C-alpha cells in the first residue's frame, strides 16, 4: 500500500497556479526524488504536503488517511517530518535542546507533573536526555551537544536539522534541498548518510534537490516537476534519457 498518495493536488496564489494536477505515489520504504528547474513549484509542493499551505484542490492520503486541512503540527504528529531549504534551527538553543524539542509530542507528562515535579517528570526527562544524546552520537554531533546551534559550521547545521527531523520519529521524511551549499565531498557524505538512515530507521524519504549527482546517485525513483505539474517519472536512468526532462532543463546539465 502506498504510504503517501497525492492525487490532483493544485495550489493557486491569486491568479498564479504554483502547482497543478500534482500526482505522486510513494510506497513504504522508498527513497524518491523530486526535481525540477528553479521555480517549478517544488517547495510549494512540500509546503502543501506538510500543511503549511492548504491546497486549492486535490487529495493527500498519508498512511491511509487524508491529511488535507490539517495543521503542520498535526501532520508531523501523524508521521511526516521535514527539513527546510533555508535552515530553520532553534538557533539560540543548544544542539541537545534542538533535538529534545523534536521529541515533544511523544512526551506524556502533563502540566501538573511539570510544575510540581511529580510522577512521570523525572523519568521521562532522563529518558529524553538519553535518547537525544544517542541521536547526536549517531549524527556525530554528540561532542557539540552544548554548543549553541547557530555557532555550528554550515554542514553540521544541515546535519543537525536532519537529526532533529528524525527525532520526531516520522514514517516519512521530507528533505528540502539537503545538499544546498555543500561541497562535493560533503554531498558525498550526505548521500551515504541518507542511504544509511533510510535503512537504519526503516524510513521512507522524499527529497527535493537541485544537485543532480545527489538525486541520481541516491534516489530509486524520480519525479520531475515543471511549471507546477509532474512531467515525468521513472528510475534515474529513465529520467536521464527522457526528452521532456532534457527540454525542461534546457541549459542545465543532466549527468
Give the nearer residue to other proteins in terms of CB position, either 91 or 183.
Answer: 91
Tell me the closest approach of the beta carbon of residue 233 to other proteins, in angstroms: 25
Cβ–Cβ < 8 Å for 212, 254: yes
Give the nearer residue to other proteins in terms of CB position, either 121 or 201.
Answer: 121
> From the CB of residue 119, how many other CB atoms can be counted at a distance below 10 Å?
14
Tell me the closest approach of the beta carbon of residue 145 to other proteins, in angstroms: 6
Residues that bind other proteins (CB under 8 A): 43, 47, 50, 52, 71-73, 76-77, 81-82, 84, 88-97, 100-105, 107, 109, 111, 114-117, 121-122, 124-126, 128-130, 145-147, 164-165, 168
Tell me the closest approach of the beta carbon of residue 156 to other proteins, in angstroms: 15
Cβ–Cβ < 8 Å for 116, 101: no
Give the nearer residue to other proteins in terms of CB position, either 145 or 240.
Answer: 145
Give the nearer residue to other proteins in terms of CB position, either 89 or 191.
Answer: 89
Bin 183: left if φ > 0, else alpha if -120 < ψ < 50, else beta.
beta
Q: Give the separation between CA 183 and CA 5, rounded to whole angstroms.
A: 34
Cell of 125: 526527562
Q: Give the separation between CA 12 and CA 226, rounded to whole angstroms.
A: 15
Tell me the closest approach of the beta carbon of residue 213 to other proteins, in angstroms: 26
Contacts of residue 26, defined as CB under 8 A and 6 or more positions apart, other chains included, come to 2, 3, 4, 5, 32, 172, 204, 206
Tell me the closest approach of the beta carbon of residue 217 to other proteins, in angstroms: 27
Give the nearer residue to other proteins in terms of CB position, either 55 or 236.
Answer: 55
Tell me the closest approach of the beta carbon of residue 72 to other proteins, in angstroms: 4
Give the nearer residue to other proteins in terms of CB position, either 61 or 93.
Answer: 93
Q: Give the separation between CA 185 and CA 54, rounded to whole angstroms.
A: 38
Q: In what order do the strands lie in the sheet with 80-82?
A: 80-82, 172-176, 204-208, 31-35, 221-226, 229-234
Amino acid at each position: 500500500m502506498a504510504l503517501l498518495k497525492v492525487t490532483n493536488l493544485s495550489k493557486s496564489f491569486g491568479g498564479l497556479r504554483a502547482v497543478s494536477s500534482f500526482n505522486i505515489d510513494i510506497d513504504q520504504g522508498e527513497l524518491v526524488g523530486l526535481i525540477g528547474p528553479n521555480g517549478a513549484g517544488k517547495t510549494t509542493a512540500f509546503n502543501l504536503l506538510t500543511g503549511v499551505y492548504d491546497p486549492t484542490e486535490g487529495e493527500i492520503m498519508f498512511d491511509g488517511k487524508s491529511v488535507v486541512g490539517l495543521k503542520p503540527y498535526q501532520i508531523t504528529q501523524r508521521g511526516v517530518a521535514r527539513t527546510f531549504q533555508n535552515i530553520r534551527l532553534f538557533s539560540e538553543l543548544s544542539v541537545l535542546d534542538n533535538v529534545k524539542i523534536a521529541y515533544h509530542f511523544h512526551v506524556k507528562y502533563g502540566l501538573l507533573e511539570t510544575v510540581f515535579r511529580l510522577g512521570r517528570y523525572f523519568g521521562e526527562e532522563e529518558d529524553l536526555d538519553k535518547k537525544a544524546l544517542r541521536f547526536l552520537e549517531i549524527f556525530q554531533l554528540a561532542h557539540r551537544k552544548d554548543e549553541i546551534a547557530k555557532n555550528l559550521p554550515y554542514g553540521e547545521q544541515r546535519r543537525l536539522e536532519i537529526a532533529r527531523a528524525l527525532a520526531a520519529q516520522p514514517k516519512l521524511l521530507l528533505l528540502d534541498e539537503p545538499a544546498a551549499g555543500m561541497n562535493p565531498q560533503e554531498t558525498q557524505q550526505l548521500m551515504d548518510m541518507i542511504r544509511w538512515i533510510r535503512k537504519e530507521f526503516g524510513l521512507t524519504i522524499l527529497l527535493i534537490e537541485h544537485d543532480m549527482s545527489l538525486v541520481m546517485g541516491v534516489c530509486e525513483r524520480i519525479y520531475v516537476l515543471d511549471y507546477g505539474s509532474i512531467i515525468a517519472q521513472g528510475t534515474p536512468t529513465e529520467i536521464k534519457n527522457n526528452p521532456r526532462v532534457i527540454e525542461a532543463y534546457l541549459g542545465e546539465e543532466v549527468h
